[in-house]
Amino acid sequence: MSLNRRTELVPAGPGASFDWQKALEEGPVAVSAPCRVDMGGTLDIRTFSYPLRHLGPCTVNIALGLRTTVRLAPHARGRVKVSSRGFKSADFPADRAPFRHPLGLMFATAAFFNAQGVHIQVESDSPPRSALGGSSVAAVALVRAFMEVRRRGRSPASVDGRSVALLAHAIEESVAGVPCGYQDQLAAAFGGVHAWHWLTLPRAQVFRREALIPRSGLRELEPHLLVAYAGVPHESSDINSRWVQQFVLGRFRSEWVDILVCTQRFADALRRRDFDGAAAVMNRETDIRRRMTPDVLDRLGRRLTAAARRCGCGARFTGAGGGGCLWAIGAANAVAQLRPVWQDIL
C-alpha cells in the first residue's frame, strides 16, 4: 500500500477496546514507505527553524526507490514482538515494552495505538543505520499499518499523509530525549522531490510542501544522482546534539544562516534543473558543516566527497553524517564519470 492517498486518523484512544490479535488473524497487513537523501537537514528542528523563521528556513529531500516495509501479524495475547533485520528480535509484555531500546520507537508506536498481540516485522531495502531516515520511515509505515487494521470493514478511504507524518514525528520526539526534525517522516509519507518550508505557531500547518520536480519528471532526475553506502554504522544523535548545543549557546549562528541560504539556492537550482548550480551550493554547505563538526565526514567520506568534486559533482553526507551514506548530484555526464570512481574507492 502506498502513502499517497488521504484518510482520517483513527488511533485507539486510551482505554479503547480493540482486539488486535483477532483483527490480524483475519490476515496480516503490510505497508511500505521510501527512504530519502537530503539537503538542509537540521533546519527542520524547531530549535533552528523558530529563531531563523524570518529568513524562510527549508529542507530539501528526495525520496529513493529504497523502501522500508512493515508487516503486522498476530502474536501472543498481551505481548508485542518486533523483528528487524540488523537487530535482535525483541518480545515484551505490551504494558512493559521499553522505549529506550534499539527497537524502542516501534514499541512506542504500538503503545500509542494500545496494540498488543501483535508481531511487528520490519524489512528495509536500505542497510541498518545508513542515515537514510530508516527508523523514522519504519515508524511512518507502522502508523499507517495500524490505521489500516483499525479501518478494516469500513468504506474505502485514502490516507492523509500529513496526519501520518505528524503523528509519527510526535511519537518519536516524545521518546527520543532530543529535538527531532520532520523531514524523514514527510519524505516517507509523501515521496517525491520536495522543499519543506518550516512554519511556526500559532499556524497549525507546521510546514508548507513544495514539489520541486513533478512526479512525471522523476525518472529524468535519476542520471543526476548517485548514492553510496560507506559501510560505516551511523549514529546521528551525537552530531545532531552538538549542533543543537552549539546553536543554543550562540555559536555558529552565521554559519547556520549560510546553510539556510545554501538550501534555498539548492531548491531553486532543482526548480530550474540547474544541476551544476545544485552541486556548487551542496559543496559549500558541506564545507560549512565540516568547519562546525569535522567528524561529520570520516576518512572514507572525505575521499568520496573529494572524488566527487574532481568529477564536477556536489557531494554530502545524508542525515547528520558521521557514517552511513553519502550522495552526489551533478550533470549527467559528471555523475556517470563519478560512478566507477566511487565503486573503486568502496
Rounded to the nearest angstrom, the gap between the alpha carbon of residue 324 and the centroid of all alpha carbons in its chain is 13
Other beta carbons within 10 Å of 74: 17
Between CA 194 and CA 181 the distance in angstroms is 15
The residues that bridge with 67 in the sheet, in sequence order, are: 34
The pLDDT value given to residue 278: 99
Where in the chain are the domains? 20-213, 218-345
Report cis status (omega within 30 of 0) of the bond before 202.
Answer: yes
Q: Are 90 and 84 in contact (CB under 8 A)?
A: no
Largest CA distance in the chain: 61
Between CA 24 and CA 64 the distance in angstroms is 30
Of 9-13, 88-92, 202-206, the poorest mean pLDDT is in 9-13
Q: Are 71 and 28 in contact (CB under 8 A)?
A: yes
| Statement: 218-345 belongs to CATH 3.40.1050.10 | no
Between CA 145 and CA 30 the distance in angstroms is 6
Domains 20-213 and 218-345 share a fold: no
Encode 185-200 in three state secondary structure.
HHHHHHCCEEEEEECC
Considering the entire predicted model, what is its pTM? 0.91
Q: What is the mean pLDDT of the chain?
A: 92
- CATH architecture, domain 20-213: 2-Layer Sandwich (3.30)
Residue 278 buriedness (CB in 10 A; 0-12 / 13-18 / 19+): buried
What is the per-residue pLDDT across 48-106, written as a single tens digit (0 to 9) for each? Answer: 999 999 999 999 999 999 999 999 999 999 999 999 988 999 999 999 999 999 999 99
